[in-house]
């Protein structure tokens, strides 16, 4: 699956310096620009500070195109970031993923990562549960107190994959317009989290990740697991 014409590849400077930004970021960027303009009229140095903040805002909400590997059984990374944890644990009961421990892969996103999230597998939104929460660091904790959007996905083969958006310390702003019954393709954009966050993926029983702790992930491109294949427990996995 590709975002653009598969027969063309953009190699221009715009790909790197002027990527498109997410619609949710446009209104925030306009607010930054307005405040910076007014501040600059009052004190010029504040205008320069505002300009830097506007550039950061644009950079944070960037929404680059991605090319997703083909394969109905592939689980694709839903987020840019680093694999911060691989752990066996019982998934949230609301997601109807069973009561046995499953492998959970956590991907930590810093403020410098792309924060647009992508569907990890092709399938139907089976269950959703939103939980409000607190401002808590999420880099290396189970994060039960954080704001989160829990999603379970039913694949065409009948397997279920869990995907949980977790907001972090700086802000609690999860954007997820999905609803139960929606059908999406692997790699398709489905939401975002603002200013530092984490994505957890629960794999079906017996499916092991193809990634390891500390690996850099690219949303919509990095293969996280294969639903039809098995692999030895990933290095660094924690029970």
Quick one: tokens of 135?
A: 């401002």
Among 36, 122, 143, 197, the active-site one is 197
d(CA 54, CA 174): 21
Q: Which residues 6+ apart lie within 8 Å of 238 measured at CB?
A: 85, 86, 87, 88
185-201 CB burial, b ≥16 within 10 A, e <16: ebbbbbbbbbbbbbbbb
Residue 190 near residue 119 (C-beta atoms within 8 A): yes
Token readout for 191 is: 């939401």
Residue 122 annotated in active site: no
Residues marked active site are found at 197
């Amino acid at each position: 699956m590709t975002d653009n014409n598969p027969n063309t590849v953009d190699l221009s400077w715009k790909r790197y310096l002027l990527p498109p930004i997410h619609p949710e970021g446009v209104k925030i960027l306009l607010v930054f620009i307005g405040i910076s303009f007014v501040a600059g009229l009052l004190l010029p140095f504040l205008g320069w500070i505002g300009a830097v903040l506007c550039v950061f805002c644009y950079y944070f909400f960037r929404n680059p195109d991605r090319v997703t590997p083909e394969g109905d059984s592939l689980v694709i990374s839903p987020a840019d970031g680093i694999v911060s944890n691989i752990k066996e644990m019982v998934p949230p009961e609301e997601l109807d993923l069973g009561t046995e421990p499953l492998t959970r892969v956590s991907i930590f996103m810093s403020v410098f990562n792309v924060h647009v999230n992508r569907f990890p597998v092709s399938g139907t939104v089976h269950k959703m549960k939103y939980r409000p929460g607190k401002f808590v660091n999420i880099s290396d904790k189970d994060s039960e107190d954080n704001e989160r959007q829990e999603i379970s996905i039913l694949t065409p083969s009948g397997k279920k994959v869990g995907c949980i958006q977790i907001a972090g310390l700086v802000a609690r702003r999860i954007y997820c317009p999905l609803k139960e019954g929606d059908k999406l393709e692997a790699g398709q954009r489905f939401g975002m989290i603002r200013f530092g966050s984490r994505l957890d993926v629960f794999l079906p029983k017996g499916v092991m990740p193809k990634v390891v702790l500390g690996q850099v992930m690219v949303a919509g491109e990095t293969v996280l697991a294969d639903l039809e294949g098995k692999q030895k427990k990933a290095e660094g996995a924690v029970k």
